[in-house]
Amino acid sequence: MKAGELRGILRGRDFRRLYATRLASQFTDGVFQVALAGYVFFSPEQRATAGEAAAAFAVTLLPYSVLGPFAGVFIDRWRRRQILVWAPVLRAALVLLVAALVATGRDGAGFFLGALLVLGVNRFFLAALSAGLPHVVSRRELVLANAFSVTSGTVIAFVGGGVGALLRWAFGAGHAGTAAILAASAGLYLLAGTVATAFPRGRLGPPAGERAGHGSAREALGGVVDGLRDGARHLGRRPPAALALGAIAYHRFLYGVVLIMTLLLCRYRFTGDADAGMALFTIMLGASGAGFFVGAVATPPVVRRTGKDAWTAGLLAAGGVGLFVLGLPFDETAWAAAAFVLGVVSQGVKLCVDATLQETVDDRFRGRVFAVYDMLFNAVFALAAAVAAVSLPADGRAPLALALVIVAYGVGAIGYRAMAARAPERVAVP
């Protein structure tokens, strides 16, 4: 990232407001998700089997993938500033409900439903952030602004995760300790909504004349299918955007398999008890977070020299090489290095995809397209978790499965480069 360009972006008052809203929210996401994951996967009281642990990811994420399109319709219908103000309030209420369920030991279907709703509202919130970004920076600043915002959000989420891990150590891993951490995260979510109140109501779009409909909520829900059809047609007129969505979905599936494998290795093979497993998994996440940071720093200058398509293909290839060299030994130190490499790959690919969508999708369709993006992001991970649940061994050590992931990364790199070369030139929109 060029320091001068970044300083120019940061001088924008509304960008700083949007940035602060993202940081406050994603820090809290880290606290919440570590509390949740620690309770489900690393609590001695739970003693989840390997298959149950992987299946929990699918149960949590897949239903939101079905609800994702509804978010896009409302992002294009409602003022995005209002979404950023009120979504954290809803999340705080839902988190308190989950905390109450944990405190009373009721961690069955209601617990997972509550967690699902929190995560669903979160994706809705993040889609509104992405759709609002082009309203606070110029088009030529989008790549850098997006890289800086998304990377900072990812890093602060990892920081929040670290704080969540410390709180788990301080308050305990049981029902009472987890409930206390969740209650604290509810208060932090309210902070994000408070920051967003600094925006004028119409500042983040969509423009009043372009909002998707003005009828009742029932009419809006009834128009979901039409909205999705419109979004799909728009993507059909923007081949680079459609190809970008395919690339992130493909990578996300492979990354999901490796992440589930990492969780199982940390819990059942690399360590002998739940607390040590949680500590090691936190280290793996930290290594991946460092990779996210490096990917964010490297992506803008590399993209300026090579273009998004070449960089995306190179990153997919790097994912395969990194797993081949560092993953196949199934050594915990080498595995942490592989987590770093995949962090670089994940962030680099995501930044390229985000920028492509923001550059090529019309503003009145951005909400729906980003909602489809979020839907794919969750659905393919849920599919990866489901595949892992039935195919990985109890301790996560699966050389054949890892070899297939390595080959898939290589095939994906070659295929993406070939398809990008045949795609028509990108059509930028204001």
**Could you report the per-residue pLDDT of 10-37, keeping only the tens digit for each?**
989 999 999 999 999 999 999 998 888 8
Q: CA 137 to CA 141: how far, in whole Å?
A: 6
Q: Which of 286, 351, 349 shows the shortest CA–CA distance to 317?
A: 349
Domains, the chain, in order of start with CATH, read: 3-422 (1.20.1250.20)
Pull the structure tokens for residue 385.
Answer: 């978790």
pLDDT(372) > 70: yes
Give the mean pLDDT of the chain.
85
For residues 189 and 25, is the Cβ–Cβ distance under 8 A? Answer: yes
pLDDT(112) > 70: yes
Pull the structure tokens for residue 253.
Answer: 């599936």
Q: Binning pLDDT at 50, 70 and 90, where does residue 268 land?
A: confident
Residue type present at position 172: G
Predicted pLDDT at 361: 85
Which class for 142: exposed (0-12), middle (13-18), buried (19 or more C-beta within 10 A)? buried
Task: Return the H-helix or E-strand segment holding 87.
Answer: helix 80-103
Q: What would the mean pLDDT of 391-404 be, rounded to a whole number?
A: 92
Predicted pLDDT at 246: 92
pLDDT(249) > 70: yes
Q: What would the mean pLDDT of 237-252 be, rounded to a whole number?
A: 91
For residues 18 and 129, is the Cβ–Cβ distance under 8 A? Answer: yes
Q: What would the mean pLDDT of 109-134 be, rounded to a whole number?
A: 84
| C-beta neighbour count of 293 within 10 angstroms | 18
For residues 75 and 367, is the Cβ–Cβ distance under 8 A? Answer: yes
How far, in Å, are 5, 132, 359, 405 from residue 138 at the CA level? 12, 12, 11, 38
Q: CA 198 to CA 14: how far, in whole Å?
A: 9
**What one-character DSSP code corresponds to residue 46?**
T
pLDDT(418) > 80: yes
Pull the structure tokens for residue 346.
Answer: 């994940």
pLDDT(422) > 50: yes
Contacts of 341 (CB under 8 A, 6+ apart): 291, 318, 319, 322, 323, 326
**What one-character DSSP code corresponds to residue 44?**
T
210-219, 300-309, 355-364: which range is least confident on average?
210-219
pLDDT(151) > 50: yes
Predicted pLDDT at 412: 97
Which among 68-77, 152-161, 406-415 has the top mean pLDDT? Answer: 406-415
pLDDT(210) > 70: no
pLDDT(53) > 80: no
Q: CA 78 to CA 360: how far, in whole Å?
A: 22
Q: CA 418 to CA 309: how far, in whole Å?
A: 10
For residues 175 and 102, is the Cβ–Cβ distance under 8 A? Answer: yes
To the nearest 10°, report the CA torsion of 137, 140, 144, 150: 50
Task: Classify 47 in phi/psi space as left (phi over 0), alpha (psi -120 to 50) or beta.
Answer: left
